[in-house]
Amino acid sequence: MKNSVVTFQEMKAKGEKITMLTAYDYSTAKLVDAAGINSILVGDSLGNVVLGYENTVSVTMEDMIHHGAAVARGAKDALVVIDMPFMSYQTSTYDAVVNAGRLMKEGHGGAVKLEGGVEFAEVIRAITRASIPVCAHIGLTPQSVHAFGGYKVQGKTYDAAKKLLEDAYAVQDAGAFAVVLECVPAKLAELVTKELRIPTIGIGAGAGTDGQVLVYADMLALFSDYKPKFVKQFANLSEEVVSAFKAYDEEVKSGVYPAQEHTYKIDDEVIEALKKEL
Ligand code: KIV
């Protein structure tokens, strides 16, 4: 069944948990979709996981469109949400609407996601006015890593927790259909979830949110540069992949691969006739 922003609303109303995983290419999107995950996030974590950057700041609109369109081709039922990259919505409301439109028209997303609360409410309002569904993202917002001075848990003090609640209300009032809560204490995330009409999708925010999102390469242990505390590795594919690559290396070098069954045939007469001409 095709998931949409309406599915998110219905699932919150019924108390059903929403699942979201990232993907950055066609083949992975097909696998995530086949597993019945409700939504695929083409996250700008693409910068870390696929492009090898230290953070998400360098990711461009062209990167997001290129990977977003590949994911959209592989996702049959999952709602595809494409991240707005750094500086694609911070410069002006006009830029934000134009760039959100490109992610829908050229990236073929079903929604966009952007980082920020109260300060970006006007931008969210303008994009939703253009009939583009927006998922907000508050708490730890990785595009602000330089302003935060690192990746830290957010909302721990009274003032910070109050600001997080204000951000949550602001993005809801501006028309966001959902909000990602990243790296916030579980009890605060639970409180925000109870207060909001729109679904909350947690990452490092405990079990009390309406849904969960993870970077697919983290939960499969394919990405090994670092592992945040909140990541559970549901498989260790790094080990399996490296051992398969080693087996290939050994079999090619020892002549075991390719075998007869991997080989195309030709009539001996054709080869003999060719040889006579040499
Ligand atoms: O870019 C991303 O993958 C994200 C998730 C961590 C929520 O924004």
pLDDT digits (tens, 9 = 90+) for 225-258: 889 999 999 999 999 999 999 999 999 999 999 9
10 is catalytic: no
CA 67 to chain centre: 11
**Confidence class of residue 27 from pLDDT cuts 50, 70 and 90?**
very high
Is 44 a pocket residue for ligand 1 (Cβ < 6 Å)?
A: yes
CA 212 to chain centre: 12
Given ligand 1 and candidates 22, 64, 80, which is best to mutate, with the most ligand atoms within 8 Å of its CB? 22
Structure-block tokens of residue 56: 């998400």
The predicted structure's pLDDT at residue 239: 96
What is the whole-number distance in angstroms between the Cα of residue 80 and the centre of ligand 1? Answer: 13
Give the residue from 131, 126, 22, 127 showing the smallest Cα distance to 81. 22
* Active-site residue identified among 106, 122, 182, 251: 182
Given ligand 1 and candidates 24, 39, 41, which is best to mutate, with the most ligand atoms within 8 Å of its CB? 41
Counts of helices then strands in the chain (DSSP H, E): 12, 8
Q: Has residue 54 got a pLDDT over 90?
A: yes
Q: How far apart, in whole angstroms, are the C-alpha atoms of residue 141 and residue 259?
A: 51
Average pLDDT value for residue range 113-124: 98
Q: Has residue 185 got a pLDDT over 90?
A: yes
Least confident range from 97-111, 144-158, 199-213: namely 144-158
| Residue whose structure tokens are 């083949």 | 27
Atom index in ligand 1 nearest the CA of residue 20 equals 7
What is the whole-number distance in angstroms between the Cα of residue 33 and the centre of ligand 1? Answer: 18
H/E stretch holding 218 reads helix 216-219
- DSSP letter for 199, please: P
What is the whole-number distance in angstroms between the Cα of residue 183 and the centre of ligand 1? Answer: 11
Given ligand 1 and candidates 40, 71, 180, which is best to mutate, with the most ligand atoms within 8 Å of its CB? 180
- How many other CB atoms are there within 10 angstroms of residue 200's CB atom? 28
pTM: 0.96
Are 114 and 136 in contact, with CB atoms under 8 Å apart? yes
